[in-house]
Amino acid sequence: MNTGAPTVLVLGGTGFLGRHITAGFAARGARAVPSARHGAHRVDLTAADPAPLAALLREVRPDVVVNASGRAWAAGAQAMAAANSDAVATLAAALTGLPVPPRLIHLGSVHEYGPGTVGAGTREDHEPAPVTDYGRSKLGGTRAVLDAVRTEGLDAIVLRLANVCGPGTHRGSLLGAVGARLAEAAVAAGPAADPVELRLAPLRAHRDFVDVRDVVDAVLAAAGAPRQDHPVINIGSGAARPMRLIIDRLVALSGLPVRIVEDAGDPLRTDAEWQQLDISRARRVLNWSPARDLDTSLSDLLGAARTELTTQTAMERKT
């Protein structure tokens, strides 16, 4: 990455990942330009007309483009395919059409791999076999980037992320939803007479979680890394933890009396029971390792959820 105040365009810049990434680049002295479907520098990558994207690229003239856009929560298979796969193909085509294409850092997902091997970390050369609509749509986006690298010479790095948590975690996710519920209980008026009841789907899976701020560090490292012949790099904690243990820890950190009820699961649901990334390539290529432990991520998730709720409540009272 150019050391003289480079320009970085962050697509999906108003979302959970995008906000943190934009702030991370700005803290390093870069001109960080967030773009989303709403607000300034807006662009909808799922739109049929690619002209607004081309105009945005000409206007911003980025040295680096970070694709943190996409759909995960409250979206069907078609919407996820449009946002996570088709839109990435449009972006790759737009970048390769520029006179001097910027580096693309595309954020992929551990869900592209599908089921992992119990007790082992999944490496980048593992053949993807996603079992969810989200995983399939994300894999489509990664393949669009890799096709552009192979056929058009696009300079790109795909960071295949583990499940991301930390301050600002989306409440559509399990940890975000539980954090929001605990925050509501914590700021409720008066002492709670009874334990907070959390009704959750069966917590059978083991998951690899990485802090959002560690993801930012990985993106910053990828922006300045040498061009890669093998552009996919795993970013995670390198450990698979039982989801029940993670939820229990989140509850313990909240300090609230909580009763967890695991409802019967959806018999038609398909998901990987074991997710663990091998992150040795990230250490070697990016000189990156996760710096935050899970307790830090969960504590900061709770703190941010409480702050958001308190601020929202104060604003409602003013109106």
The residues assigned a catalytic role are: 134
Torsion over CA: 307, 310, 315, 316 (sign): positive
Please check whether residue 86 is in contact with residue 46, taking contact to mean a CB–CB distance below 8 angstroms: yes
Return the DSSP state at 111: G
- Quote the tokens at residue 83: 């946002």
CA geometry: angle 223, 21, 283, nearest 5 deg:
50
Partner residues linked to 18 by β-bridges: none
Which of 197, 189, 101 lies closest to 145, judged by CA?
101
Range 145-178 burial, b when 16+ CB lie within 10 A, else e? bbebbeeeebbbbbbbbbbbbbbbbbbebbbbbb
- Quote the tokens at residue 26: 């700005």
Taking the C-alpha atoms of residue 278 and residue 284, their distance in angstroms, rounded to an integer, is: 12
Find the radius of gyration of the CA atoms of the chain: 20
CA 102 to chain centre: 22
- Quote the tokens at residue 113: 């791999």
- Quote the tokens at residue 35: 């773009």
Taking the C-alpha atoms of residue 93 and residue 256, their distance in angstroms, rounded to an integer, is: 51
Phi, psi of 134 (to 5 degrees): -65, -50
